Amino acid sequence: MSLSKKLTLDKLDVKGKRVIMRVDFNVPMKNNQITNNQRIKAAIPSIKYCLDHGARSVVLMSHLGRPDGVPMPDKYSLEPVAAELKSLLGKDVLFLKDCVGSEVEKACANPAAGSVILLENLRFHVEEEGKGQSLSGEKIKAEPDKIEAFRASLSKLGDVYVNDAFGTAHRAHSSMVGVNLPQKASGFLMKKELDYFAKALEKPERPFLAILGGAKVADKIQLIKNLLDKVNHMIIGGAMAYTFLKVLKNMEIGFFCNTSKSPREKPGVHRKLVGSMTAGHVERKAGYLHSTEKGYLVHYSVK
């Protein structure tokens, strides 16, 4: 199906229905204070549309940070988001201290007309991502039957499902793929991105240049493969460039550190890369300033 032909919120009948909406409220915080509310503001049009068109309730679910399946309300609670959301919407927002379970199901079963409900961080449950890490650092994996129960509980919170979390659309997590409702649609933020990609991928203007960056090369491999037969040129930049230099030029790149996961800082070498990948092959014309000695840390800041 064409990206531009997906069912969207404006084609969905929400009157009298409970809408469960996956949003991306993974906002930056400092001392439990939101420092940038842009992601919350981006979800407002979809929420208001539901309310203006007679939705009985809008139940919002999101993740925040990386609690790895362990409840950490002091650090990763979405409660501050509820207050910000109330200010932006100009109406009360009910915050629930969990996202699944009998108490949550009861609160969402028969809400007052026009209710807005925000669930607690989905990632407080290992069943959201399927795996996590205990407080002692031990890797944990969710049991299949518990994942099924988690998804079933989420499915009880609404009558229709709306996905407006484009930033999480590449994740096969329970809240993204496991809500079992007869009607599912994209919200306006998701629609905007899908329309853009439909234009770029289905009928692109030529020459078509793609610029890719980021830190996680493994997450981009499939994207790169899918784009190669569509683009005229591809430029690899950002932290991914380290891996390409290692493979293409056998260049020492040291120990790469993405500081979104680690606060450590050690001596290293910053350098720039400009190069291109054409459909079908990689041009080895990339320039660089320095290599990085073994044992050193490449510091990459993610903002």
Q: For residue 133, what are the β-bridge partners? A: 139
Question: Which domains does the chain carry?
Answer: 3-192 (3.40.50.1260), 204-300 (no CATH)
**By mean pLDDT, which of 18-27, 112-121, 291-300 is the weakest?**
291-300
CA distance 215 to 261: 11
Grade residue 204 by pLDDT with cuts at 50, 70 and 90.
confident
Over 80: is that where the pLDDT of 211 sits? yes
Question: What pLDDT shows up at residue 115?
Answer: 98
Q: Between 269 and 213, name the one with better pLDDT.
A: 213
Contacts for 237 with CB less than 8 Å, ≥ 6 apart: 211, 212, 213, 273, 274
Contacts for 172 with CB less than 8 Å, ≥ 6 apart: none
**pTM, to two decimals:** 0.76
**By mean pLDDT, which of 121-135, 159-173, 237-251, 264-278 is the weakest?**
264-278
Helix axes 188-202, 38-52, angle to 10 degrees: 110
Question: What pLDDT shows up at residue 223?
Answer: 81
CA distance 6 to 202: 14
Q: Which of 67, 68, 14, 51 is nearest to 181 (CA)?
A: 14
